[in-house]
Chain A
Amino acid sequence: MKRVVITGMGIWSCLGKSLDEVRDSLYTGKSGIILDPLRKEMGFRSGLTAKVDIPDLKGVLSRSQRTYMPEQAKYAYCATVEAMRNAGIDQDYLDKHDVGLLYGNDSSVDPAVRAVDTIREKHDTTLCGSGAIFQLMNSTVTMNLGTIFRLRGINLTVSGACASGAHAIGLGALLIQTGLQDMIVCGGAQEVNPYSVGSFDGISAFSIREDAPEKASRPFDRDRDGLVPGGGAATVIIEEYEHAVKRGAPIIAEVLGYGFSANGDHISSPNVAGPSKSLRMAIERAGINIDEIGYINAHATSTHVGDTNEAKAIYDVFGDRRVEVTSTKSQTGHEMWMAGASEIIYSMLMMKNDFIAANLNFENPDEDSAKLLIPGKRIEKHFDTFLSNSFGFGGTNATLIVRNM
């Protein structure tokens, strides 16, 4: 099997619009969460959200290109430009090689709502405009990035709920390991507009700690009361090792293992057996001892049952071998389709800069989180290997293990 390395990263998130900004936000423990008054006017139970600016691409991309892009495609474009730049890839390279694209995305609600509103009001489909169809399809991110960058390898959207971004990287790694692709642009994108999460709010999944938005996302804390929705986009360039060496690419890490499983159980409540299986598979495929793992980036979203069962799964696999576990969602909220990719980047930034960001708002453990080593404050630590979990509705699980290079 061929080795898979990461040669570039880029991000657009509530913690920053570049790797440097995000690194600083992680280090200082900045929260990206705000209370959005518009959501309260709209009838939301919780008006909490991450604050993510929509990039203005006028003058950067043509009018036609922008017309086909919903917000999450714009985030993904910016993240991908940064990742390609860091990987030393330009358009000339892309034109001469078959570069693939696997990106996590699992909704595009806002353009669908606008198109349906137009049809209902005007009774004329032409008035939806030309962009609606391309914006509202679930594959909008990969169709937009694929045409903008003229990519000619695999082109596929990965829809695995809140594990979409992680599965995109994992599946990309498999394609490279088996020699089917030399390089794939992988990532995850998440829309942030209110309509996209209105029905999610409707099942009382969100924190209602609106008096202190920065305190609302509190993974593993005893007094957590739900997640906070977030979004943006994150891109990693993964590449076959020898290919990267030959072109003199900056090799920054290796994707050692990808584990996956499905719970075959409840649609929203996770169990313990499914995630445990995913962790074990990733460790086995990485071919490492668990003692080599220096940090675990948990999926933990700040929901009661989700965090509890993940804590149990981690304890089930790691036992009393205590390694630092944090959820960066304490800073970002739940970046959903993007999370599996963004959390690889957050973990990479920590690994490259010798620290583990605080699990914000971890003030009191519960019975299960007490068994884990969860730093409520930032710690300075060198580590060379980390594990990142992503779990999604429907019981889809993904685990990635990455090693420093």
Chain B
Amino acid sequence: MNKNELIAKVNSVLAEEFEVEESIITPEANIKQTLQLDSLSLVDMVALIESEFGVKIQPADLAQVKTFDALYDYLAERV
């Protein structure tokens, strides 16, 4: 999976799971604000990413993965 394919898949699965329009997901957008995540649904995002990409975002890393761009990079390094 190249980076563009990864980005497309990330956007698709997150938009579907959290019921937002895919068009509002932009690289610089804040993940929690865009997907309207609270502390509970943030857990669901971590579980979903692990299920779809086989990568668990470690608790210590979660604070750094604030934007979609950061998420794409985090996953690209580990997928």
Contacts and interface: CB of A to CB of B under 8 A. Distances in A.
Nearest to A118: B47
A63 interface: yes
A124 interface: yes
B59 to A, nearest CB: 8
B6 interface: no
A124 B46 CA distance: 11
Contacts of A131: 44
Given A124-B56, A127-B56, A64 B43 contact: no
B18 interface: yes
Interface residues of B, number: 14
Nearest to B20: A63
A130 interface: yes
Contacts of A58: 19
- A contact residues, range: 10 to 19
B41 A127 contact: no
A68 to B, nearest CB: 9
A64 B47 contact: no
Nearest to B17: A63
Contacts of A129: 43-44, 47
A91 interface: no
B40 A127 contact: no
B41 A64 contact: yes
B50 interface: yes
A262 interface: no
A67 B56 contact: no
21 contacts: A58-B19, A63-B17, A63-B19, A64-B40, A64-B41, A67-B40, A67-B44, A126-B47, A126-B56, A126-B59, A127-B46, A127-B50, A127-B51, A127-B56, A128-B47, A129-B44, A129-B47, A130-B40, A130-B41, A130-B44, A131-B44
The 6 A-B residue pairs with the shortest CB-CB distance in the complex, in nearest-first order? A130-B40, A130-B43, A129-B47, A127-B47, A130-B44, A63-B19
Given A124-B50, A128-B47, 12 more contacts: A64-B38, A64-B40, A64-B41, A67-B44, A122-B50, A124-B56, A126-B43, A126-B47, A127-B50, A127-B56, A130-B43, A131-B44
